[in-house]
Amino acid sequence: MPPLARRLALALPTLALAMPVAAQAPAVLLFRVVSQRDEIIIGLTPAELAAMGSGPEAERIARKLATDGQVGAWRYVVGRATDGSTRHGATGRIAIMRQETYRIEPYSAAIPVAPPPG
């Protein structure tokens, strides 16, 4: 086997393993926002989170609430996809207003999560 062909043969399995990891970047990250009255699931795109600065995602949201008094996000609920499967889907944009007590925590969905509308 020529040296170039040998290198390609060795590199292809490595590329195949690396590609799914890159393709799995989430289109939206979910968070549970718990107040004294209720709790909701919100979704923010990586770009929206990046605009909030650096650090852990939940802390970025908390800082944005503290400094600006509100955060805009997608509200996510469990619903049906067009194929009939169950998934988390965005129902629309909401504004979360600053209150005295909140708990913001990352939310790991056990079912698929649809990206927010374009």
Q: What is the per-residue pLDDT across 50-96, written as a single tens digit (0 to 9) for each?
A: 999 999 999 999 999 999 999 999 999 999 998 999 999 999 999 99
Q: Which residue has the higher pLDDT, 43 or 21?
A: 43
Tokens representing 10 are: 């060795």
pTM score over 0.85: no
pLDDT in tens, 4-41: 555 545 554 444 444 444 456 679 999 999 988 899 99
Q: Is 79 in contact with 107 (CB distance < 8 Å)?
A: no
Q: CA-CA distance, 117 to 55, in Å (whole number)? A: 26
Res 10: pLDDT = 52
Give the residue from 60, 49, 112, 62 showing the smallest Cα distance to 86. 112
